[in-house]
Structure formats: C-alpha cells, structure tokens
Amino acid sequence: MNTPTSGAIPSPDDVQVRRRWIILSLLLLITVINFIDRQTLSVLAPILRQRLHLSNAQYGRVVSAFQFGMMSSEFPMGWVMDNWGVRLGLGGAVLWWSLATAAQSVTRSGLQLGLVRYWMGTGESGNYPGGIKTIFGIFTRAERTLAIGIFNTGSMVGATIAPPLVVYLAQRYGFRSAFLVPAALGLFWVPLWVLNVRSTESRQRVRAQAVSLRLLLGNSSAWAVMLCRFFIGPVMQFYWYWIPSYLYGARHLTLTQVGFLGWIPFLLGDAGGILGGWCAGWLQRRGLRTYNVRRITMFSSAALCVVSLAVPFLRSTTAAFFAIGLAMLADNFLSANMFGAVTDLFADNAVGRATGLTGVAGGLSGLLFPLLTGYLVDRYSYAPVFVLISVMPLAGAFSLFVLGRQYRSPELSLPGASL
C-alpha cells in the first residue's frame, strides 16, 4: 500500500494539483459573488420598481444598461487577460464591479440606476474571460470541461443563494444592505486571488505569438462560438432577471414567498453545470472525438430546454417551478459545453479574447432581449417570451456546428489550437 506518512513531504505534482483546485475554488467563489451581485436587482425589482416608478419597459432598459456594459467591455477585458495576465486582470475587474455594486445602494432614479448598472457590467464582463483563460492554463484538455462546469456552476449557486439572502437582508436591515454585503464579499476576495495566483502563472503564455482581432474575426470558429452564445446567453439571463418578477406578477407570490421558494429552480441549474462537464469528460475518456462529445452533449441539452415552453400554461405553481428548474439544468449543462468549445477551438494566446468576443455577442442579445421581454410582457404576457427561450438553445447549438466547420478537422488555422 503506497500511502504517505503524515510527515512525508508532498511531491511537486501533489502541490500543483492542490494549487489548481484552490484556484478553481476561488473562481467558483467569485462567480457565486458575481451572480449574487447580478440577482440582487431582480430580487429587489418589486421594491425598486415601486420606489423608482418603473414600468416593465423601463425596468427592461435598466437590465439592458448592464448588458450594454457587458457587451462593450467583453473584448477589452479579454485583451487584458491575454496581455496582463489573470492575476491582475481578474483582480482589477472584481475590484471595479464591487465598487459599482455598492454604488447601487445610493441611486435615486431609474436613470442613475441604469448608469451604475452599466458601470457594473463593464467590470463583470471580466469574470468569464479571466476564468476560462485561467482554467485553460492549469487543467488538461480532458479536465477542462468539468472545471468549466464547476466554475460556471457558480452562476447557479449565486442565483440560488441570492433570493433568500437578499430578501433576508432587505427585510432585516433595509434594501441598501442587499447591495453592500455582496460588494464587501467581492472586495474581500481580491487579496485572496492576488496571493494565490502567481504572476508567472498568469503570464506564462503571454509571450506567445499574438493573435489579432482581424485574424480572430476571419476565422469561422469565432463566428460559430459568438452566434452560439448570442442565442444561448439570453435564456439564462431571462431566468436571472425576470423570474422573480414573473413569480410576483404572474403567479402572485409574495416577496417573502419569492425569497423562500425562488432558489429551487436554481438548485437544479447548479447540478446542470457540473453534470455537463462530467458527461463531457466521461465521453472523452471512452474515446469519442471532441466534435462528437460536443455534438451529443449540446444537442441533447438544447432539446431538453424546450420544456420551458410549458411553463406559462401550467396551472400548478409547483409544476411550473419544476419545469423552470429542468430548463435551467439543461441550459447550464449546455453552457458548460459551449464554453468548453471555446477552449477546443482556440489557443491560449487567443482564448481570453475569443471568450470576450462570445461575450460581445451574448451582451448584444442580452441588451436586446430584455427590451423585447419588457415589450411583450407589457403588451401581451410572459407566454411569448417562454416560447422564444424554449427554441433559442437549439438555434445556438445548430449555429456552432454549422459555422464551426473546423470542428471536423484535426488542424485548426489558429496557431496552437488543435483537437
């Protein structure tokens, strides 16, 4: 039996494995904090809309302001991660958005809230380029999708925690505390990140041959992942930003009930991200080509997202909760493999900017879709919105494989990228 004694010195490999899981834990933690920050607005929407006299359309514009901030800053943040390294790049992004999160507590109008949400979006756009690039650098190809799934699950964990936490803070200490506590958590995280991520690690491949924006946009794979995220991104954003309002306005739940029950669908979403990464790794270990792994995982989960079509037509709130949760599980399963596709198709010296480009596409649809949602809800109901989000994941999966022709070739045109 080859068990080390308690006094044995860990091997360099053991230390490296432990360090990369510590770093992944920090990435998971900041994604949790990130999405608590995001969800605070949606959970407090009934209160804020009443205090600031916002219609559905005006609330949609506030949501879109955040998305515009994300869209306009995703590629610059990807450039920062590729050129400055994730140690300083991601740490600076978290500091920037945490200050914006705190500033929401002092806004006095819909315009002020929208401007601060834009500021917050410019910082939060760094979370995924920084996280995906970090994972690319410290995990093997076979491990990356699971690591991405764990990292991306932070979005669901944050969204799960947010409703009860935000409602508790708002009812116990006032709604402003619900903005200040997540901001403080982000500020506390920054020194932990800087101390645990070495500057040499964060810059270890920065000296590789640069990949220009022109070269990226001339590659069909870039358009494939961009269009994929364009369709998939707004689906989960709808659940983050509109489900509390849907439960409050259409299902007639009280704010306390939203806080008590609103986390349940997000719990299923938590499982989806990890399950999506685990399934991809399981299929790869059985010898399937990356192309086939992505095709199986993405089309099966996109097909399951169609269950959301039934939500507005279910009379039982319990059944509606279950359908929403199942759709969120499927969409998070799909998202883990979508981000995994970015690491399949791009080299380390381009993966930050490639992720940023997908964020630009996701930000554009995230900007437009809340406006459309507000219009449809004000003019008709939530039903046409649920119809749209039931088919958009399939459109995203088809886009990836129709445009991503290089997925079928072992040689990709970008330097250093291969299947």
Tell me whether residue 283 is in a domain.
yes
Residue 83 lies in a domain: yes
Asked whether 58 and 177 are in contact (CB, 8 A), the reply is no
Asked if residues 281 and 145 have their Cβ atoms less than 8 Å apart, the reply is: yes
Q: How many CB atoms lie within 10 A of CB 195?
A: 10
State the pLDDT at residue 15.
62
Residue 300 domain-assigned (yes or no): yes
Length of the chain: 419
Give the total number of structural domains in the chain: 1
Q: Are 127 and 98 in contact (CB under 8 A)?
A: no
Strands annotated E in 123-280: none
Q: CB under 8 Å to 358, separation ≥6 — which residues?
A: 74, 225, 226, 228, 229, 338, 342
Amino acid present at 161: I
Taking the C-alpha atoms of residue 121 and residue 114, their distance in angstroms, rounded to an integer, is 10
Bridge partners of residue 418, in order along the sequence: 411
Question: For residue 50, which amino acid is it?
Answer: Q
Residue 16: Cβ within 10 Å count: 12
Residue 177, domain extent: 21-408
Residue 418 lies in a domain: no
CA distance 286 to 105: 51
State in Å, rounded, how far the first CA of the chain is from the last one: 38
Q: Give a yes or no: residue 203 inside a domain.
A: yes
Residue 202 half-sphere exposure toward CB, CA atoms < 13 A: 22
SS3 call for 6:
coil
pLDDT in tens, the chain (419 residues): 444 444 444 555 566 777 888 999 999 999 999 989 888 887 888 788 888 888 777 887 887 788 788 888 888 888 888 888 888 899 999 999 999 999 998 888 888 889 999 999 999 989 988 998 898 888 887 788 888 888 888 877 887 788 788 888 988 888 889 899 999 999 999 999 998 887 544 444 444 555 677 788 888 888 899 999 999 988 887 887 777 777 777 777 776 776 666 677 777 877 888 888 889 888 988 888 888 888 899 999 999 999 999 988 888 888 888 898 899 999 989 988 998 888 888 877 777 778 888 888 887 887 788 788 888 888 888 889 999 999 999 999 998 888 766 665 544 333 334 33
Whole-prediction pTM value? Answer: 0.72
Establish how many alpha carbons lie within 13 A of residue 32's alpha carbon, considering only the half-sphere containing its beta carbon. Answer: 15
Give the phi and the psi of residue 411 in degrees, each rounded to 5.
-115, 120
> Tell me, what's the pLDDT at 255?
67
Q: Residue 4 falls within a domain, yes or no? A: no
The contacts of residue 355 (CB under 8 Å, 6+ apart) are 74, 78, 128, 129, 132, 133, 339, 342
H/E/C letters for each residue in 58-72?
Answer: HHHHHHHHHHHHHHH
CATH number for 157: 1.20.1250.20
In our burial notation (b when 16+ CB lie closer than 10 A, e otherwise), range 144-179 reads: bbbbbbbbbbbbbbbbbbbbbbbbebbeeeebbebb
Is residue 268 in a domain? yes
Number of C-beta neighbours around residue 198 at 10 A: 14
Q: SS3 for 143? A: helix
Q: Is residue 6 part of a domain?
A: no
